[in-house]
Structure formats: structure tokens, C-alpha cells
């Protein structure tokens, strides 16, 4: 189950990137569950990883390798998270990298492993190693859609975003560009994520590439800023995965350089790709029938806005009301009230549901009716806007409802 009208987007290949998929039979024999991504030499690579203390073995291996080497390959398996697997998990992740190193004649430390699936089970390492030659043989610059499908777990549809655009060429054109290069830059990304989502770095798994030339410092800055406005603003169930990771690659093959002059323009384009990927995860949230935007206005600072936003977004009572299209706005009010906000003046708080003023100055709006509230809550896309009346800061985050299907998916996940 997912929300919104769906079609897989047009994908622009990224020069210097090739992707190959294969079936290892990790959880199912009927689907591709293994992805290898080849990265051109002399690329720049930045990544963000989960902050979960029980981070998975591949996260530990990838993070360690990235500190010392620029990767040439990424490898992703689904169906098994390789988390909570101790020393054997590390050895299995390293064995996967070693096999790719053997097949491609690169240093195994230049291979970054990623896994997603069930926690606490050992990787079926022989199945993976046996399938790796097929994935490498399938490497193709047009392999993005196949890879987007191969990395899915409980997702119901692949997620991708791709943009091609010219860059401004003069410093005074960055905010309102009017002079552009003749050549174009490409940014393309895929992601997976449907449940166990409240990223504490990025998202479940996401791989984004550009053919621009971006040095390591600017690339990491761009990824961090983009994640903070996209992947760090989504929640399905408040759970941060053991395996979360997002990778941003700049191959430099377009010949166009991102620097201090045009960085903000590039950043905005990258952020739009990340927002589309993050929102796609929410639209495909486990059992979701609603896509919900939580807009916080008039907070003292961004942290305060996020505190209120997540209290509402992760309230089981709010989420079940959303799933039932029940205009039980008192649940929203209660969630705001238990946020850790010092000296909140409730008489300044307004609450809107899809532009319908429900609460004004801390109490039911005089113009509100139950009939109007029910109509507002019937929509598939719902915006809950909360004005705190305290300052000028604001934040937006995205979430889902909770329903019977979410419970069923997670109750039956291992069976």
C-alpha cells in the first residue's frame, strides 16, 4: 500500500557510474537482491551513516574504509541486515569486499558494503559471493532502475529522482541565475525505505551521484545540508535503523566544477533530489494511506520547531486518527503540549488541518465544525500546520498514518 500517483521517473545516467544487479537468493529466489555500483577513478565520495549504537557490520566496515580510501565499488545486499552479528558479521562484510576486489583487481578496502533486511541473522555469504560475478558482468550506466528495485525490502515500489541542469557561471548570478554554462550537470539518486524510519543521519539506504567535479570538503557539506532538509525530516515510526546510510558521489566526468561561486545553486538542486527521495519513502511507508506534512511556524529556533513537529508526527494516537480520517484534533493539541518547550504560551497556538483553522489561541476555533474537520481529514495528502506564536523559526517534516496494515507487515516480517 502506498499513497499518491506513481510512475518511475525519467533517469539521466551519470557518466562514471555503472550499476549491475543479480539474484543471490538471500530471502527469495525469484528476485534480484544484490547490487554492485562501479565508481570512476578520481571521483569524490561522501557518506553519512546511522548513529545507532548497534550499527551493522557493513556500516562499520564502510565507515572505516572511507576514512582511508576513495571507493571504486559499492555493494548492496537485501534480505539480511548483517546487524547484531558480531565478529562473524565483520568477517562476512569484508569477505564480500574481498571477492569484489579479486574480481575487479582493486584493493578490497576500496569497496564499501551495505546491507538491509532482517537483524540478527548471519549473511549467507556463499550465496552472495557466488552471485557477485553476475552482478559485475551486468554493470551498465543505465542500471539505475534495476538497482532501485533490487535494494527494496518491505517497499512496494522503487524510488528514484534525476535532474539535469545548467550551472550559473558568474558570482552575481547565483541567487537569480541568468548566465549559464552550455553544458549540463546530472544528479541522479535512488533510495529504499518504508519502515524503521526516523533517520539519525540520512535514510534507510540512498545512493546519489553527479557528474560534476566537487572536492571532498564541499561534497560532504552539500550532502550534510541536503540530508538536514530531507532525510532528516522524515519519520514513519520513530525507529532509527542499524543500517542507515546515504552516499553521494561526484565523478567529475562532465568537466564542470562546483566551487564557492556556484555551490548554493548546486546545493539547491541536490536538495530537491534528496527531498523527492525522502518524500518517496514516506509515500511508500509501511501500510500508509496518508502522506502527512507537519509544518511548524513561529518557533524560537529550528530545534524547538522540530521538537514539536516530531511529537506530533510520532504520536500513535495522532497517526491512528489520521489513518481513520478522524478529525480528533485534541490528539494534536496534546502532543504539542507534551513537547519539551520552555514557557509555551498555549493561548498563542493555532492549529490548521489543510488550511482549516481548527484551534485558535489555544482552543477550538469559533468557526470550526466537526463536518469541516471530517472533510479535511478525508484527503490523502494532509498538512498539519502549527503556529506557536513565539518567534520566526520554522521547519517542515513528513510522516505517515498508522493502520492495521502497518501492524500486519511488522508482525509478519520474519514469517
| Residues designated as active site | 203
Read off the C-alpha cell for 151: 535494494
- CA-CA-CA-CA torsion sign (78, 80, 84, 88): negative
Looking at the DSSP bridge assignments, the partners of residue 207 are: 190, 247
* Residue 147 DSSP SS3: helix
Instruction: Report how far residue 165's alpha carbon sits from residue 327's, in angstroms, rounded to the nearest whole number.
Output: 43
Rg for the chain, CA atoms, rounded:
22
Does an H or E element contain 217, and which?
Answer: helix 216-228
Instruction: Report how far residue 145's alpha carbon sits from residue 150's, in angstroms, rounded to the nearest whole number.
Output: 9
Instruction: Report how far residue 105's alpha carbon sits from residue 121's, in angstroms, rounded to the nearest whole number.
Output: 30
User: Beta-strand (E) ranges in 270-405?
Assistant: 291-299, 350-353, 356-360, 363-364, 381-387, 393-400
Q: How many CB atoms lie within 10 A of CB 102?
A: 12
Instruction: Report how far residue 134's alpha carbon sits from residue 213's, in angstroms, rounded to the nearest whole number.
Output: 31
Reference 72, options 115, 43, 99; nearest CA is 43
Residue 261 sits at the vertex; the CA angle it makes with 270 and 161, to the nearest 5 degrees, is 10
Read off the C-alpha cell for 269: 538542486
Long-range CB pairs of 175-184 (<8 Å, 24+ gap) are 175/264, 177/265, 181/256, 183/254, 183/255, 183/256, 184/254
Amino acid at each position: 500500500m502506498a499513497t499518491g500517483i506513481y510512475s518511475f521517473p525519467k533517469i539521466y545516467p551519470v557518466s562514471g557510474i555503472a550499476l549491475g544487479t543479480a539474484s543471490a537468493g538471500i530471502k527469495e529466489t525469484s528476485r534480484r537482491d544484490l547490487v554492485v555500483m562501479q565508481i570512476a577513478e578520481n571521483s569524490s565520495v561522501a557518506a553519512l551513516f546511522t548513529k545507532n549504537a548497534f550499527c551493522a557490520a557493513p556500516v562499520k566496515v564502510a565507515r572505516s574504509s572511507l576514512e582511508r580510501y576513495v571507493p571504486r565499488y559499492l555493494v548492496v545486499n537485501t534480505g539480511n541486515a548483517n546487524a547484531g552479528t558480531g565478529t562473524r558479521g565483520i568477517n562476512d562484510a569484508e569477505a564480500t569486499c574481498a571477492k569484489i576486489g579479486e574480481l575487479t583487481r582493486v584493493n578490497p578496502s576500496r569497496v564499501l558494503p551495505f546491507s538491509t533486511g532482517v537483524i540478527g541473522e548471519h549473511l549467507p555469504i556463499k550465496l552472495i559471493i557466488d552471485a557477485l560475478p553476475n552482478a559485475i558482468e551486468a554493470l551498465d550506466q543505465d542500471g539505475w532502475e534495476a538497482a532501485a528495485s533490487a535494494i527494496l525490502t518491505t517497499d512496494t515500489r522503487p524510488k528514484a529522482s534525476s535532474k539535469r541542469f545548467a550551472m550559473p557561471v558568474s558570482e552575481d548570478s547565483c541567487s537569480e541565475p541568468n548566465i549559464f554554462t552550455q553544458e549540463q550537470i546530472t544528479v541522479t539518486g535512488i533510495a529504499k525505505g518504508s519502515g524503521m524510519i526516523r533517520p539519525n543521519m540520512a535514510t534507510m539506504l540512498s545512493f546519489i551521484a553527479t557528474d560534476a567535479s566537487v572536492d571532498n570538503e564541499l561534497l560532504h557539506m552539500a550532502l550534510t545540508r541536503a540530508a538536514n532538509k530531507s532525510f532528516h525530516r522524515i519519520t514513519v515510526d520513530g525507529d532509527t535503523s542499524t543500517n542507515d546510510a546515504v552516499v553521494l558521489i561526484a565523478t567529475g566526468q562532465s568537466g564542470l566544477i562546483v566551487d564557492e561561486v556556484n555551490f548554493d545553486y548546486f546545493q539547491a538542486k541536490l536538495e530537491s533530489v534528496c527531498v523527492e527521495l525522502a518524500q518517496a519513502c514516506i509515500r511508500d511507508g509501511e501500510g500508509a494511506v496518508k502522506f502527512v506534512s507537519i509544518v511548524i511556524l513561529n518557533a524560537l529556533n529550528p530545534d524547538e520547531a522540530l521538537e514539536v513537529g516530531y511529537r506530533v508526527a510520532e504520536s500513535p494516537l495522532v497517526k491512528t486518527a489520521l489513518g481513520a480520517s478522524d478529525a480528533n484534533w485534541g490528539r494534536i493539541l496534546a502532543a504539542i503540549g507534551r513537547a519539551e518547550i520552555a514557557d509555551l504560551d498555549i493561548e498563542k497556538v493555532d492549529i490548521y488541518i489543510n488550511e482549516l483553522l481548527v484551534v485558535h489561541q489555544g482552543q477550538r476555533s469559533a468557526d470550526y465544525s466537526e463536518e469541516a474537520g471530517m472533510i479535511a481529514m478525508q484527503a490523502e495528502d494532509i498538512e498539519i500546520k502549527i503556529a506557536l506564536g513565539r518567534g520566526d523559526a520554522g521547519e517542515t517534516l513528513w510522516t505517515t498514518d498508522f493502520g492495521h496494515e502497518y501492524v500486519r507487515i511488522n508482525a509478519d516480517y520474519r514469517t
